[in-house]
Amino acid sequence: MRLLRFRAANHKSIRDEQTLSFVAVPKRGEPKPRATEIPPTTQVTGIYGANASGKSNVLDALHYMISCIRTSQTRWSPTGGVPLRPFKPVTGEPSLYELDFVLRGIRYTYGFEVDTETVCSEWLFSFPHGKARRLFERTGPEDYEFGRALSGPTNQIARLTRPNALYLSSAASNSHPLLSTLYEAFTKSIQVARQRDRNARLQVTTKILKLEHMPQLLARLLKVADLGIESVHVEETEISANIQRAMARFGEELDEFKLAPPPTHVDEIFLAHSSAPAVRFGLDEESDGTVEWLALIGYLLTSMGAPSVLMVDEVDASLHPHLTSTVIRMFKDPEINRHGSQLLFASHDTTLLGTLLDDKILDRDEVWFTEKDEDGATTLYALAEFKPRKDENVERGYLQGRYGAVPYLSYAEIRRIFQELHVESDEPRTHPPVPHPQDEHQDDEEPAAHRL
């Protein structure tokens, strides 16, 4: 799967329709692709912006779309409506999600609109010769039109599709040949690596480590990151009896776990350092940077093994800029990324915009910005819209506010706030003092004999 464009509206801070394009901007002298041609795409797309400007929400919108495709038919309650994530719940407006993509040499457009109760509309078009060909179009919870190009039991599947479920999800559950293929592409070719899901990412690395010869390969990837790691391996450790009993009691309360016995063992990753190869260390003894790199390696290996899309929120979290730039260079290197996988990430690391680390890491059509207006609505726009010169220092321009998407900080206001605090501290106290962080832990530090 290769992404061309993604559209979303009414999702968290994304109020109005926003479009993220993965189509490469033709360089000077290069012809523009014809309308009947599938345009070339970038392998890397980075989104920058101030804190809380909506960078992560762009990624979350695409992740939500994939989640709807995966779970609407099988996990959503028949009477539970749609788990919407709107800009403002009181508006009642539907949320829009649409993806333009290429699969097996054919371009497709798939999208849907949902409100809190039902699927309002859903559509799938293909472009086998550059012209739109309708496969199916849904104009209401139960109103469908099917194109002649879509064979199979289409009407039967429509009758089985609930008003709050996607037709694509239902078709996959009922083994429709073409739509099951598209469903597999959506749910297996797009991977999401979020900062808060580190344990889930480590599970991917753990599975790879259990394959033959992979511990040696991963150890080499850890070594080149200059983390001082000599080797890495997985061990199966026993779960304590108390935890097993607690898991069993918890499982009895959940229908999906009633038939599955609680696990008795768990896989754990251990590392050995070059300074002491005979001593093993658990991940809880390692630095955030080491664990973050290890958690990302599994996704990098799977991305390079087949055509796919990897979304990474806060790609620079706990990683040195050299490591972050290495990840980007891997996706842009055809010798490494032989399947043309794509990387979509959000970041604050401005060194990727400049030339301090090496040759320019990101091209102008690989950089996007998010900015919030006074209502808190996110606007998404491309660096290419500013038409920067080839030799322009984009990092300096971004930090200077030339492209927007930077926080407005009033240092004068910060000074005024602290001046007021200092004035109050010099006057007779009429209210409790500002608590000191140490005060919260004072009791914990007292000897046990002195505690009441």
Nearest to 66 by CA among 101, 118, 19: 101
pLDDT tens, residue by residue, 165-204: 999 999 999 999 999 999 999 999 999 988 778 888 999 9
The reported pTM is 0.86
22 CB-near residues (< 8 Å, 6+ apart): 2, 3, 4, 5, 6, 41, 42, 45, 342, 344
pLDDT tens, residue by residue, 6-49: 999 999 999 999 999 999 998 877 888 887 789 999 999 999 99
Nearest to 276 by CA among 285, 268, 284, 267: 285
Beta strands in 239-334 (DSSP E): 265-273, 276-282, 309-312
How high is the pLDDT of residue 276? 86
How high is the pLDDT of residue 88? 85
Where residue 278 falls among pLDDT bands split at 50, 70, 90? confident
The domain locations on the chain are 2-193+314-400, 205-294
Question: What gap in Å lies between CA 17 and CA 378, rounded to an integer?
Answer: 10
Provide the CA 385 distance to its chain's centre, in angstroms. 25
Mean predicted confidence (pLDDT) in 228-243: 81
Mean predicted confidence (pLDDT) in 116-126: 97
Name the token pair of 136: 């199916």
CATH topology of domain 2-193+314-400: Rossmann fold (3.40.50)
> Does position 70 have pLDDT exceeding 90, yes or no?
yes
- Cβ atoms 343, 312 nearer than 8 A: yes
How high is the pLDDT of residue 1? 94
- Compute the mean pLDDT over every residue in the chain, rounded to the nearest whole number: 87
> Does position 445 have pLDDT exceeding 70, yes or no?
no
DSSP 307-372: S-EEEETTTTTTS-HHHHHHHHHHHH-TTT-TT--EEEEE---GGGTSSSSSS-SS-GGGEEEEEE
Q: Which residue's entry shows tokens 């179009």?
A: 137
Q: Which residues pair with 3 in a beta bridge?
A: 101
pLDDT tens, residue by residue, 286-319: 989 899 999 999 999 999 999 999 999 988 877 8
Of these ranges, 103-107, 210-214, 286-290, 432-436, the one predicted with the greatest mean pLDDT is 103-107
- Cβ atoms 46, 334 nearer than 8 A: no
Mean predicted confidence (pLDDT) in 254-276: 73
pLDDT tens, residue by residue, 78-113: 999 999 999 987 678 999 999 999 999 999 999 999
Stretch among 144-148, 361-365, 407-411 having the lowest mean pLDDT: 407-411
How high is the pLDDT of residue 322? 87
